Structure 1
Amino acid sequence: MKQMELTYRNAIENTKNKILDDINNYLGSQEKLPAFEDYLADRTNYIHQLWLNIWLNKSTNSISRHEKKKFLQEKGFETENVDRKLINQLFRTEMRSYKPFDALDWIHKKWNSGEFDWEHKYTEARADFLQKQEEMQLQASIHKFQEKLIDHIDEMIEKNEKAIFLYARHFIGSQISKDIKIGTKYLQKDTFALERQLQSLGKFQANTFKLAAEFFDELTGDIHRTFHSGRRYFEYETYFDRYIGQLAEFLDKFLLELGNKIIASVSEITISQSFAQSIMQEILSDTSEDLAILYLEQLRDEYLSDLLNVAEKPFSLEKHAEIYENDLEDRKRKREEELAELKRKKEEEKRLITEIFGQEYEPSVNQNIHFTLHIGETNTGKTHRALEKMKASSSGLYLAPLRLLALEVFDKLNEEGTLCSLKTGEEERVVAGATHISCTVEMFHEKESFDCIVIDEAQMITDKDRGFSWYKAITKANANEVHIIGSRNVKDILLELLGEANVEMIEYHRDVPLEVEKREFKFNRVDKGDALICFSRKKVLETASRLENAGHKVSMIYGSMPPETRKKQVQRFNNGETAMIVSTDAIGMGLNLPIRRVVFLENEKFDGQRRRLLTSQEVKQIAGRAGRKGIYNTGKVAFVSNIKKMWDLLISEDEPIQTFSVAPTNVVFERFQKYYRDLGTFFDLWEKFESPKGTKKASLLEEKELYEKIRGTKIEAKIGIMDLYGFLHLPFSKKEPELIGQWEQTMFAIVEGEDLPEPRMKNRNLEDLELTYKAIGLHLLFLYRLDQRTEAIYWERLREQISDKVHDRLRTDVKNMAKKCRRCGRNLPWEHQFQICDQCHERKYRRNYFI
């Protein structure tokens, strides 16, 4: 218990010192020497309480919890698994009676031993007390003097405010004039980037600055110390920073001359002139900096030419007051003119936006067309019935949401004897004598006419980037009859768009019911005819590898898979070569497969911005693929978790689509080119354009990002706006840096009249092959756009070979895949829920905890 004994001795010494201090304070406050007994009579209660307070505080705060528990255990208390607060409470109670120190007895012994020279102690204490009282009175007088001086200085500044400002204005004008002549303009504007050397742009040109603020924000080339959020930093200095110090120093001297006259009038105590002046200088120093910042903020809004003009004229208060008034009037007039011009430009811009975009997005449907709406859930025969109508027509056009579906319909129609060509942007297969075309919806052209047009997956009209293609096809279709296929939630908006047109509605309902399994899915219950759904390529490959290694034969589908490969994977499943299929939500759109059960391996997906719960429509679209009519009597749906929540999403009523997307059209560009010749202005106007109620603008984010890479180059100068936008709008993966680089190189080759650069060919692994496939696809987009169809044939064949290699690699590589920790690469069990191993997670947790 050494700790307790040490604390006890410290408490005693502390108590003794406090009593001695109390004696000094008591004696000092008495005008006459009091008797020792008088002190004891007045302070006994205080002395008794003093020891107890000191001892309890020190013992509670200074003695460790271990020592406290040990002491209590010796006293017979139970301390194991006892709350810390209760331990402290018990210990404090015990300390009240632990070895009480008799402070009064100690004082009496001191007195009786003659250690107290009571009279001498009184003399010293009284002298100290009187000196402190005198110092306090002096401080109070000085404080009163300071308050009065501050009032007089404020009054002085207020009285001379105009004159002080005019002096400051002339001073800053002179400094600017000098700095513009001798200063250097620098390119770097990031004031904290001290590691990057400033790049000189030569001398300043006064006529390049309109307002003083523009020059204030220029860098001087020096480094200074500043404060941000309570922390000290070094940064590059601006002229505004420099002028604060220079103007504050100038105002210090100026105000001191005025201030010397008021010291005598406020001094009501005996104080030296030098001390009074030092007080005033300290007050003026703070005031000068505040005024400097205030005046510079005012001067920021002045025209730089006015300040340079002031600097050329010798200072005269009367003359400069007149100049300032004239400058104020002139600035007011100019500002009014500028505001009027700005208002005129805004009105003109508003008029142009209305004229350019105008009524382009108001539905205008041909009243002579017969529209048939095929509305219902997935897997109900909507597309089949619409295609049968198109096959029976003299000419037809099928508009698909995906290249794979366009390819599927192309093959289906030709196999069934209806000659059909294919057109997807990346490829064109012209069949001799064909009167029908299968294409992606983006390839629709309103000037082409057909007997029958089929528009598939119309609910995509709400897609923020692609939705306008459906809007354009629906509202500008040129045919005798148009069949529109969509989910239930698109019905209302389609009827609104078609207005008074001749519309026939056919609603579809599932003949094969869906049944949700009541128990959570486990991999040991996987079965033939299952479609296992997850939401990333990585997860698809890992799941397929797990199943293959367990002895199952598996097909795979994911978004970046080449359509030809996807088609072969689907065929293997349809033909019974594989027992099950692992897919992303790509399976939910248009693919008809003999699926017995859809299994959701995940209830959430990453939508490009955040990970979120699946929507009701997404669950229905995917789950609806279960129970192929004519094969199964019931479609099964299973979930790995939260079955009740997912069931509610599946059976909930569809929320009607309220808005659809709009995007630029050829007509819009034709109108725009009457006024401007650059896409930068077009994107600015598009941003300001407010689309009609019930619509939302396509973001054009990818197009704008691509445009910034070639803005101001030969590409923009040599290619017309509509053609350039067409190249920006090419449908390729704009998240792949290599493809972005290929696009840029190809664009430069076009304007230079050179051969198009060939895409890079890689085949080290599956990812390389898929990227090579995309690169060839981008190359084909350019070839078809430039009408180089002969060369395109070679690249289509080469791409087909790459697709075959992807298919082969999938069959051979998937078995060798393993689920690995993304941090350390260690193999993980298939059932491991997370992307990192437990060890990496623990290390990360420990690091974050101790930070």
Structure 2
Amino acid sequence: MSKLEQVYPAAIEQTKQKLIEDLDAFMERQDAVPSFHDYMEERKAFIDQIWINIWLNKASNDVPKKEKKQLLNEKGFVTDGVDKKIINKLFREEIRSMMVFNAASWLEQRFTGKEEEWEQRYEAARQKFFLRQEKAKLDKERSEFTGRLADWTRRHTEENFDLFYLHARHYAARQIKHDFVHNQRYAYVEAYRLEEALVEDGNFETRDYVTAGDFFEELTGGISSDWSSRSFGYETYYEHYENGVLEFVSVMIPEKLAGDIPLEFKEEYKKLYNQDLNPENLFRLIDSECYELAEDMTLELAGEYLEDLLQLAELPFEEKLHQQIFERNKAERARRKAEEEAEAERKRGEEARVMEDIFGTAYIPSVGSRVRYVLHIGETNTGKTHRALESMKQAESGLYLAPLRLLALEVYDKLNEEGVPCSLKTGEEEKPVAGAKHVSSTVEMFHEKDFHDVIVIDEAQMIADKDRGFSWYRAITKANAREVHIIGSYNIKQMLFNLLEGTEIELHEYSRDVPLEVEQKEFELKQTKKGDALICFSRKRVLETAAKLQRSGHSVSMIYGSMPPETRKKQIEMFNSGKTTVVVATDAIGMGLNLPIRRIVFLETEKFDGTRRRTLTSQEVKQIAGRAGRKGIYNVGKVAFSSDIKRMSRLLEKVDEPVQTFAIAPTAAVFERFGHHYRDLGVFFELWERFEPPKGTKKASLSEERELYELIKGTPIEVRFSMMDLYGFLHLPFAAKEHLLVRQWLETMMAIADGRELPDPVIKKKGLEDSELSYKAIGLHLLFLYRLGKRTEAVYWERLRDEISDEVHDHLKDEVENYQNKCKKCGKKLPENARFPICDACYHRRSSRGRSQERSAGRRRR
């Protein structure tokens, strides 16, 4: 017999049951005996529909999919690969008229000519109706009574809370004494991590706890459960005592209240429930009030001094004596609390004075009144940097401060090629040139004691950067020079005027001679032409796009953030010399790189900023798009987008909001003043967190420094260095998100602390990623060498880093030539035009797993 045939009689029985229930409900509402005809007329729609509803639903739910498909196949339907919902819909339509049951006929057969039974059914239905009404009336009266009793209970317990609390306090005190003497302490684990086994950690000691609440945080060793969320965890003493107080209160309170309840409550209860209002029955009515009272008493207990409760446990309960002890304890607690608050207030005041001493004057701008400032303000690619450098070249001595090592390297090469001896100084390298009085440097290497005739500070809008901005602030406000040239975008202009107030300022504003023109058609890769720079926002996308272009006949240069500067320089030279005709780059192209670009193409309009994927900002769009249209080569700079042209065009045209705040970070003077008060760098991080920066400033987060500090806190490394030196090592500019580099940093710090030779960085050369990481590892090693003054050793590692940079260049070429788009899950080759990073098989496996998990979760919820 098929499942459908089994379902049919069950559906009939269910229909008959529903019809009888409906008939009884109909009769209940009638004041006189209705006729069978009356019922059939009034309930015709229900009678006609009830069978089909029950039949279709029961068959759909109970008949397996395989049988449904078999039936449909026999009817001529093709079901292979058809969605489950469609199968069900077709199945319901087919069985609608296959097997029928006439509900009206069954009713007529059941009741026609049976007047006596009909009248008896009516009487029974009406009797049930009246009984239900009486029960509803009684339930309402009982509910109202319970509400009034609960109100009285709450008032009475509030008025007598202290008296009731004395009993619970003595009970809890004796229990705490017992637990303190007989139980073991457990080493701390997170309360809900049952996978961590508890480890005994000795006996409880009174000196470890001030209040009972401190003790309540310990683990009992038992398991607690939260039935609302179906979770289990290790029980704390707080939960243990809350339950214990509840059990105690649930007996004590009803017994205490039973003798105090007004007589009218007792009489009304007996009338409504036909029994006496004894303590047991009373608890059933006021259980929620008992729960609330137990919670309040447990909170009160948590605030008591543990020592008071342990002493109380030794005394037998005598109400008057315990009342006197409680009042004394409460008064003493209030006195000690007032003292603690006064001490806390004194500490806050002292901390405020210390904070003022440490940070108070550190971030008030102070510029040299004899310094002449020349501001070069304008759009990208307008010759600002060129003009400032010309002034520096003419000076007897000069310093160029760059946002990137690559730009410092570029200016170093440029000046030496033009016959102006120039040294290079970054955190990772020093290239002194004999007789040079000019230096090209990264902005972090600025020292305010070094005098130069002319200082050039590039990309001044970076002053707003939350992590690096303070380096620009320091260079701008502490520049030791005859003349300082500051280069920035329009949105930094007012900020600079504010910072340099009271000094001589010469302003030069620049606008583009080569206009930008946005193409109104969405860009496709096949439209790539000579002179294009295609922008995307990940290294993988750069390699993927370059590979596609190279296969279609284009010669390609690549630029992305983690690329070594020397490799990036070679890629740029290839494009500048015409060896390559197209550039594929990330937004690393947007800062200081002047290339003969005809058109900037945004292949993406969103980027991942380390936290989330977001739309590009107006400043980012302008900074990148501004690289299009090199003056003297093109009459117009083209800008194209692969999508969202209107919105991106609006961002390109939008007037930037002026920079309102600049970033601040710890200074040597701040650390010196901090050292007058504390010797712990951990305390410094806490104070920095609480320090409110002056209006118009924002603090550097110091998140990476703090994470590194956690690795060496409390170790010999921390003791070995002065706070300023230690912070200097924490502040080294390296990729602290790379696990291998963090490990190298820690091993090097341990070696310095132990007085050992620095460990060599790990060098791997298997592929592009290995070589790039090795380049960074050598860079970190060089940061340590230069900081420790080991310049001779640094020469070897600089040469090795140059070799690895060449290998990166070669790997890059091989990577693009052999690039394959692969599924990130299984590694299977994907089509070049694949829209998604995983193959169809992995997607379906993931989807099936997700549906399975949803079904499992649904079963658990049921």
TM score, norm. by length of structure 1: 0.88
Deviations, residues 482-510 of structure 1 (Å, cap 9, x unaligned): 11111111111111111121000111222
**Where does residue 49 of structure 1 map in the other structure?**
42
Distance 1:648 1:372 in 2: 32
Q: Report 1:400-411 matches (<5 A).
A: 400-411=402-413
**Where does residue 180 of structure 2 map in the other structure?**
180
Deviations, residues 335-376 of structure 1 (Å, cap 9, x unaligned): 222222212222222222222111221111111111111111
1:698 deviates by 0.8
**Where does residue 292 of structure 1 map in the other structure?**
294
**Where does residue 200 of structure 1 map in the other structure?**
200
1:528 deviates by 1.9
Question: Please, which of 248, 251, 254 is the counterpart of residue 250 of structure 1?
Answer: 248
Deviations, residues 536-569 of structure 1 (Å, cap 9, x unaligned): 1111111111122222221111111111111111
Distance 1:158 1:207 in 2: 34
Going from structure 1 to structure 2, the CA distance change for 1:686 and 1:99 (only over 3 Å counts) comes to closer
1:55 deviates by 4.0
Distance 2:286 2:103 in 1: 61
> Which of 562-571 and 442-451 deviates more?
562-571
Distance 1:501 1:298 in 2: 64
In structure 2, the residue corresponding to 1:338 is in which secondary structure?
A: helix
**Where does residue 641 of structure 1 map in the other structure?**
643
Question: Please, which of 371, 381, 384 is the counterpart of residue 382 of structure 1?
Answer: 384
Q: Report 1:29-44 matches (<5 A).
A: 39=33
1:131 deviates by 9.6
Retained in 2: the 8 A contact 1:4–1:59? no
Distance 1:157 1:221 in 2: 34
- Tell me, yes or no, if structure 1 residue 59 matches structure 2 residue 52: yes
- Tell me, yes or no, if structure 1 residue 162 matches structure 2 residue 144: no
- Tell me, yes or no, if structure 1 residue 703 matches structure 2 residue 696: no
Going from structure 1 to structure 2, the CA distance change for 1:206 and 1:382 (only over 3 Å counts) comes to same
Retained in 2: the 8 A contact 1:555–1:580? yes
Q: Report 1:363-402 matches (<5 A).
A: 363-402=365-404
Going from structure 1 to structure 2, the CA distance change for 1:12 and 1:355 (only over 3 Å counts) comes to closer
Aligned residues: CA RMSD: 3.8
**Where does residue 630 of structure 1 map in the other structure?**
632
1:308 deviates by 1.8
Partner amino acid, structure 1, of 2:49: L
Going from structure 1 to structure 2, the CA distance change for 1:277 and 1:677 (only over 3 Å counts) comes to closer
Partner amino acid, structure 2, of 1:725: Y
Deviations, residues 433-485 of structure 1 (Å, cap 9, x unaligned): 11111110000011111111011111111111101101100000000001111
Going from structure 1 to structure 2, the CA distance change for 1:341 and 1:765 (only over 3 Å counts) comes to same
**Where does residue 664 of structure 1 map in the other structure?**
666
**Where does residue 860 of structure 2 map in the other structure?**
none
> Which of 837-846 and 605-614 deviates more?
837-846
Retained in 2: the 8 A contact 1:212–1:301? yes
Question: Please, which of 786, 789, 809 is the counterpart of residue 788 of structure 2?
Answer: 786
**Where does residue 83 of structure 2 map in the other structure?**
none
Q: Report 1:288-367 matches (<5 A).
A: 288-367=290-369
Q: Report 1:687-766 matches (<5 A).
A: 687-766=689-768
1:837 deviates by 3.6
Distance 1:846 1:286 in 2: 46
Retained in 1: the 8 A contact 2:24–2:122? no
**Structure 1, unaligned stretches of length 5 or more?**
31-37, 71-81
Distance 1:129 1:484 in 2: 92
Distance 2:135 2:651 in 1: 80
Distance 2:551 2:720 in 1: 56
Retained in 2: the 8 A contact 1:213–1:301? yes
Going from structure 1 to structure 2, the CA distance change for 1:412 and 1:327 (only over 3 Å counts) comes to same
**Where does residue 415 of structure 1 map in the other structure?**
417
In structure 2, the residue corresponding to 1:374 is in which secondary structure?
A: strand
Distance 1:813 1:192 in 2: 48
Distance 2:214 2:452 in 1: 61
Going from structure 1 to structure 2, the CA distance change for 1:136 and 1:739 (only over 3 Å counts) comes to closer
1:618 deviates by 1.4
Partner amino acid, structure 2, of 1:59: I
Q: Report 1:444-593 matches (<5 A).
A: 444-593=446-595
Going from structure 1 to structure 2, the CA distance change for 1:608 and 1:145 (only over 3 Å counts) comes to closer
In structure 2, the residue corresponding to 1:59 is in which secondary structure?
A: helix
Structure with bigger gyration radius: 1
Retained in 2: the 8 A contact 1:245–1:289? no
> Which of 368-377 and 469-478 deviates more?
368-377
Distance 1:274 1:341 in 2: 57
In structure 1, the residue corresponding to 2:784 is in which secondary structure?
A: helix
Distance 2:174 2:325 in 1: 15
Retained in 2: the 8 A contact 1:375–1:491? yes
Partner amino acid, structure 2, of 1:523: L
1:571 deviates by 1.3
Partner amino acid, structure 2, of 1:761: I
Deviations, residues 257-286 of structure 1 (Å, cap 9, x unaligned): 445647995254598979956423544766
Going from structure 1 to structure 2, the CA distance change for 1:339 and 1:798 (only over 3 Å counts) comes to same
Partner amino acid, structure 2, of 1:53: F
**Where does residue 110 of structure 1 map in the other structure?**
114
- Tell me, yes or no, if structure 1 residue 678 matches structure 2 residue 676: no
Retained in 2: the 8 A contact 1:626–1:636? yes
Retained in 2: the 8 A contact 1:543–1:582? yes
Distance 1:329 1:785 in 2: 60
Going from structure 1 to structure 2, the CA distance change for 1:105 and 1:220 (only over 3 Å counts) comes to closer
Deviations, residues 301-357 of structure 1 (Å, cap 9, x unaligned): 222222222223332211111111122222122222222221222222222222211
**Where does residue 233 of structure 1 map in the other structure?**
231
1:833 deviates by 3.2
| Overall identity of the aligned pairs, in % | 51
Retained in 2: the 8 A contact 1:252–1:285? yes
Going from structure 1 to structure 2, the CA distance change for 1:98 and 1:757 (only over 3 Å counts) comes to same
1:802 deviates by 0.7
**Where does residue 832 of structure 1 map in the other structure?**
834
Retained in 2: the 8 A contact 1:146–1:279? no
Partner amino acid, structure 2, of 1:220: T
Distance 1:763 1:670 in 2: 44
Retained in 1: the 8 A contact 2:224–2:234? yes
Retained in 2: the 8 A contact 1:703–1:728? yes
Partner amino acid, structure 2, of 1:243: Y
> Which of 136-145 and 214-223 deviates more?
136-145
In structure 2, the residue corresponding to 1:315 is in which secondary structure?
A: coil
Going from structure 1 to structure 2, the CA distance change for 1:352 and 1:130 (only over 3 Å counts) comes to closer
Deviations, residues 373-393 of structure 1 (Å, cap 9, x unaligned): 111122221111111111111
**Structure 2, unaligned stretches of length 5 or more?**
61-70, 72-85, 855-862
Distance 2:144 2:627 in 1: 88
Retained in 2: the 8 A contact 1:11–1:54? no
**Across the two proteins, how many residue pairs are aligned to each other?**
817
Partner amino acid, structure 2, of 1:233: S
Q: Report 1:589-600 matches (<5 A).
A: 589-600=591-602
1:159 deviates by 6.3
